Structures are given as structure tokens and as C-alpha cells.
Amino acid sequence: MSTSIADQLAAAPISWGVCEAADWGIQLSPDQVLSDMRELGIKATEFGPLGFLPTDPASRAAHLDGYGLKAVGGFLPVVLHDPDVDPLALVTTELTAFIAAGASVMVLAADSGTGDYEEHHEMDEAQWEVFGNNLQAVVDLAAESGILAVLHPHVGTMIESASSVQRLLESTTVQICLDTGHLLVGGTNPLQLVQQHAARVGIAHLKDVRAEIAATVERGELGFVQAVKDGMFVPLGQGDCEIGQIVELLQESGYQGWYVMEQDAVLDTTSDAAAAKTAVRASIDFLISL
């Protein structure tokens, strides 16, 4: 692995089971998660869900700095399709913390407003229009502060299915978060997406997935949280996402953004933290082995 790729590696608290969704298992403390990252030699991280790190912008920046971690940015679910919801208020507040911490990428999810990721959603024409206008307004607002806002296709959000991802690419100019796992679960082949739209990738969330479990989620036969508990996400190189080819294609395309290692995990007990740390170590080893 080249030094440039090593410099692009980051992690995210979701690999330690830290998630904003309801009923998502044990939530570890920031100190335990960030200590593990430091011990693994990780140099950068996403913030995790709102409330995981201090809300005060200066305190959040100082907390990461205390562990020698650079702030990549973070995942922010925002309702974008509802004409009665103004997404700019939440985004404006969070941008203050991004700026204070020196973060560079705001990873937006088109939140359904349900509070979980268990249902599948599709927008009607009116919602698509509201969504497009709100998304562009958020992207423009973030850009004024030097922050790249990208849209994350995500299971259980308004942009999940292959058809919605394709429409997003065709009807907007926004850059996307290439989440290899969520794309595959939603029915999009992430390798083909990179082959066709590498220039649209603003940040990469690297997950590996067992395709047979992912297919049951796509068909509505298994809930997302249960699929995670059943081992749908696995360390990089152990699933069906063709991670090596995806990284190679991105590097050949001139991609210079972050590769965020993410293996969504649900922890039943605090003792599961050791297994989560081991899984992240395996993913680092795989990327280095490339």
C-alpha cells in the first residue's frame, strides 16, 4: 500500500457499535472508542452520532486532539424531502463544530424522519423536488465554510434503492459518500458505480458485506438491525464488496479523499468491544496488504 493511501485512512465509531438509531445495543464511551483507535494507529476519525462527542464545538475539537486524532467530519441524518422541515437550522449548528475541529466532510443522510432504519422508502415527484432543492441549499451552505457536503445512500433512508441512487446521480451534481456496504444492501453494485461515476465520490465508507444476508434485507425479509447482529458486515476482504478493486479504481481515478473503515456493529455487552477492535484491526491489515 502506498503512503498516500495510508494517509487517507480513517475510522468511525459505528465500528464499535456507536449509532444514533434506536435499540442499537450497548453504546460505548468516547474514551474507550478513541483509545482503541489510538492503539490501532488510526490518525483520523468521524465524529460519530450527535451527542457522542461534546456538543460544544471547542470541547469537541479538544477531545479529539487529546487522542491525537484528526477530525474527518461526520454522519448527519437530515430530513430533506419534507416541505415542513427546514434542514438548514440543524446543519448550521453542526457546521460550527466542523469548523472548530478542522473537519472537511459532512456526510448527509436523507433521513426518513422515522428514527430508525428498518423501513424502505421511496419519494414521490413532489418530495424529489423538495429534496433536490434542500440538498443543494445544504451543499451551498457548507461550501461557504469550506466544508464538502456529500449525500450518503443509506439503508432505511429516502435514498436507498438502486433506482433512487441512479436518480440522485442523474438529477443532481452533489458528490456522494461511496458506502460500499449500504449501496450493496440497497441493490447498487458499488464497483460498477465507481467504474461509471468515480468523479462523484467525495468520501468513501469502506464496508464489506455478506451478499446473501444483504439480499434478505433488500427483499424486506430481514430487518437491518437484525442483519447487522447476524453478521452482515464483516472485516474488509472477507465479504462480497470487491473492496480491493474499488480502492484500486478510486486511486487510479485520482481520488484523494478519505477511506473511512466502517463495519457496522451492534454490541450486546461491553465485552464485545474487544471483538469490534479486532475487526477494525483486520480491516487495516487487509488494506495494508493491498
The residue ranking higher by pLDDT, 115 or 281, is 281
Q: Assign residue 115 a region: left if phi > 0, alpha if psi is -120 to 50, beta otherwise? A: left
Residue 4 has a pLDDT of: 63
Contacts of 268 (CB under 8 A, 6+ apart): 25, 26
pTM of the model: 0.93
* pLDDT at 270 (0 to 100): 86
Q: Which residues contact residue 25 at a Cβ distance below 8 angstroms, ignoring those fewer than 6 apart?
A: 17, 19, 266, 267, 268
Asked if pLDDT for residue 271 goes beyond 90, the answer is no
Mean pLDDT of the chain: 94
- pLDDT at res. 7: 86
Average pLDDT over residues 247-257: 95
Q: Are strands 44-46 and 201-206 parallel, antiparallel or unpaired?
A: unpaired
Mean pLDDT of the 222-246 span? 94
